[in-house]
Amino acid sequence: MNFIQTRGIDISRPKTVTFSEAILAPIASFGGLYVPESLANLGSEFLDKHLNSSYKELAKDMLERFEIDIESDVIDDALALYDSFDDKNNPVPVVKVKENLYISELYHGPTRAFKDMALQPFGVVLSSIAQKRGENYLILAATSGDTGPAALETFKNRANVQVACLYPYGGTSDVQRLQMVTEDAKNLKVIGIHGVFDDAQNALKKLLANDDFNAELKSKNVSLSAANSVNFGRIIFQIIYHIHSYLELVRQDAISMGEKVYLNVPSGNFGNALGAYYASKMCLPVEKIIISSNENNVLTKLIKTGKYDLRGASVTGTTSPAMDILKSSNIERVLFDMFGDERTRELMQKLETENFYELNAKELEQLQTQFDADFCTGHEGSLYKRYFCE
């Protein structure tokens, strides 16, 4: 499978790239992102095939369906990291909360961050590619608290990679900060910045696209990549657990095979939601993907009104820092899938220059066929817990 670019192509880049090329250099033309040229339509046959499969068997088949240019033994080594999760036979338990409400527990990895599901195997894959090519990579990571510990854990002491992790000082939990700053591997560097996650992510994107910075690294025989979900190497692993969770519901007799479900996804940078969207296009029976936000509810406003409006906006710090984000990078991939590269480039340039864009009525209608959204303040959440959960 080849990968193409969300904002069109400048003359300095090839029309398509391989999976390994896309994850080694994840920023595309005009500051855009890489996406699959096409998605396999797996259909119900794929779900039937894997009803009784292990998580690793499902993941291996999914990666093979993407036809990525990674050797089979490397994929096996990457997926073997799921054996270190709490239950190697079920790294993503699906737990019933109440009637018709189930939760996919994504926190059973080594750092307890939900990002472990994607980042642990990703580290093996990227390091293996770098070694095979005889190249050295500086991996940039921007984190609101979850990506950082997971990225540092997977890349520590791996060959041919070094990591620089940016986090908003005071903007993560104490546990997450300590997980990062106490890492002692020689190939890791953790940097606290004055600002919020969006500042860290903006710095990451600018560095990835900065010709002078890349040239300076090249002079030292180092190339630049990223561990954030701007990198499709993260997204490909996030598709899998949505399919696993659906099959687990069937196994628990909560639904019948083929029955449509609602996927409720707490969203910050939109990577989990994008994984759900791709899963629904490939094989998953989904009625709608519901995006849940906290006070930083730009996604709710986009999906409800078609307006992405950051004019005068500032991040509100909450008890869910992974959602304290205003610029959700992976929305761009949905825009491209629905409206094409020319319109995506126009919208993203407006966001960068005017802090605002607006979908037209037809585009909003199309977005709302796949997504719905709402948000909850911390105060409302406390009230709900008091009256319904205690």
Q: Model confidence at 53, in pLDDT bands (50, 70, 90)?
A: very high
The two tokens of residue 62 are 């999914």
Per the domain annotation, does 101 fall within a domain? Answer: yes
Q: What backbone phi and psi angles, to 5 degrees, belong to 258? A: 95, -15
Q: What percent of the chain has pLDDT over 70?
A: 97
* Confidence tier at 390 by pLDDT (50, 70, 90): low
In a domain, 164, yes or no: no
pLDDT at 384: 54
Residue 386 is predicted with a pLDDT of 52
Q: What is the mean pLDDT of the chain?
A: 94
* Tally of CB atoms within 10 A around 169: 12
pTM for this one?
0.93
Q: State the CATH number of the domain containing residue 85.
A: 3.40.50.1100
Residue 319, domain member (yes or no): yes
pLDDT for residue 233:
94
The pLDDT assigned to 1 comes to 87
Of 367, 375, 363, the C-alpha closest to 324 is 375
Using one digit for the tens of pLDDT, what is the confidence trace for 162-186?
Answer: 999 999 998 898 999 999 999 999 9
Quote the pLDDT of residue 248: 98
Distances (CA, A) of 31 to 15, 97, 271: 15, 41, 18
Is 133 contained in some domain? no
- Report whether 26 contacts 35 (CB < 8 A): no
341-365 pLDDT per residue, tens? 999 999 999 999 999 999 999 999 9
306 near 363, Cβ under 8 Å? yes
Give how many domains the chain has, as a whole number. 1
Q: Residue 325: inside a domain, yes or no?
A: yes
Helices (H) and strands (E) in the chain, counts: 16, 13
In a domain, 136, yes or no: no
Cα–Cα distance between 303 and 310 in angstroms, integer? 15
SS3 (DSSP) at 12 = coil
The verdict on residue 146 lying in a domain is no
CA distance 199 to 88: 37
**Mean pLDDT across 278-284:** 97
> CA 359, CA 283: separation in Å to the nearest integer?
28
Q: 387 falls in which pLDDT band (50, 70, 90)?
A: low
Confidence at residue 321, expressed as pLDDT on a 0 to 100 scale: 85
Range of the domain at 303: 1-116+229-390
Q: Is 144 within the bounds of a domain?
A: no
Phi, psi of 94 (to 5 degrees): -110, 115
Structure tokens at 38: 């096409």
User: Residue 385 pLDDT more than 60?
Assistant: no
**Which pLDDT value is given to residue 383?**
52
